[in-house]
Amino acid sequence: MVSDPGGAVRFAFSTLGVPGMPVADVLRLAAGAGYQGVELRAHPEEPVHPLLGMRERAAVRRQFADAGVAILAVAGYPQVAAARDGAGEGELAQQLTELVLLAADLGARYVRVFPGGGDRPAAAADADAARRLAAVAPLAGDRGVRVLLETHDSHRTGAAAARILDRVGHPGAGALWDVLHSWLGGERPADTHAALAPHLGYVQVKDVASAQDTTPLALGAGQLPLADVLAALGNGSGPGGWLCWEYEKRWYPGAAELPALLAPGRAHLQELLDADRTP
């Protein structure tokens, strides 16, 4: 499954599902629902973001350590495959650097970035993304961080993301598998995993009613092939690593509140994992 020396599946959720919630409340939710980690949305409207000072970063890191909850990732918004002029290139490089340093200061292993290639020709978008990721990967590696390209927007399938990552060739860059986007791209979970396996950091799970209605639902209440995703990740050798529930409440204010769904969602994933282990 996902690279993890401990060999056990661990569960995280994204603060996208609880927008603006203070860190202390996020930690109470995680501990109460049995989640071992949290993916922090790194946006200025959230409590944790790149403009946070060193004292505040240290305080957040202590809060998580004291609670026994890991900061899985810092979820940023740079678009590495987008067209940019000279000034834009410098701005993007600075954004990537700031996110890597924030993650390192917090003790997070991963930084999330988007492709954002839009309708650019694939060759140009791929080349720019690979060049930019290759430029930041050594810094990330030196700080114990990996910059993960999410399967999203212009590169929503594993095959598309792998075209970029195969060219980077540095362990400081990798892939984040968002199962919604690879599904929307028409890619089977087994094929997504095969494409991303050499690069995979962790997996974002979610559920929706249909390709036309992507309002977030409780895990198991929609159409996403979560059982097939977990089967693909098992790969015949037993699962291990991180599954992170990204519940996009921030973009769908009418969706149900996440806190009451967290424990049942974790239980659903565990049931799927247990079923996959049954001979």
For the stretch 105-125, pLDDT in tens is 999 999 999 999 999 999 999
DSSP lists the bridge partners of residue 186 as: none
Does residue 25 sit in helix, strand or coil?
A: helix
DSSP lists the bridge partners of residue 152 as: 155
Backbone angles phi, psi at 64, to 5 degrees: -65, -45
Instruction: Decide if 109 contacts 103 (C-beta within 8 A).
Output: yes
Give every CB contact of residue 223 below 8 A, 6+ residues apart in sequence. 207, 208, 209, 210
Q: Span 9-277: which CATH code? A: 3.20.20.150
What confidence score (pLDDT) does residue 279 get? 62
What are 2-50's pLDDT values in tens digits? 334 345 899 999 999 999 999 999 999 999 999 999 999 999 999 999 9
Instruction: Decide if 258 contacts 17 (C-beta within 8 A).
Output: yes
What are the residue ranges spanned by the domains of the chain?
9-277
For the residues 250-271, what does the mean pLDDT come to? 97
What are 219-247's pLDDT values in tens digits? 999 999 999 999 999 844 344 589 999 99
For the residues 153-159, what does the mean pLDDT come to? 98
Q: Identify the burial level of 126 via C-beta atoms within 10 angstroms of its C-beta, where 0-12 means exposed, 13-18 middle and 19 or more buried.
A: buried
Distance between CA atoms of residues 22 and 18, nearest Å: 9
pLDDT-based confidence at residue 204 (cuts at 50, 70, 90)? very high
Distance between CA atoms of residues 175 and 43, nearest Å: 21
For the residues 172-188, what does the mean pLDDT come to? 98
For the residues 210-219, what does the mean pLDDT come to? 98
Could you give the residue ranges of the DSSP H alpha helices within 143-258? 158-168, 179-184, 189-196, 226-234
How many other CB atoms are there within 10 angstroms of residue 234's CB atom?
17
Quote the Cα angle for 31-38-215, to 5°.
105
Distance between CA atoms of residues 38 and 134, nearest Å: 27
Instruction: Decide if 50 contacts 42 (C-beta within 8 A).
Output: yes
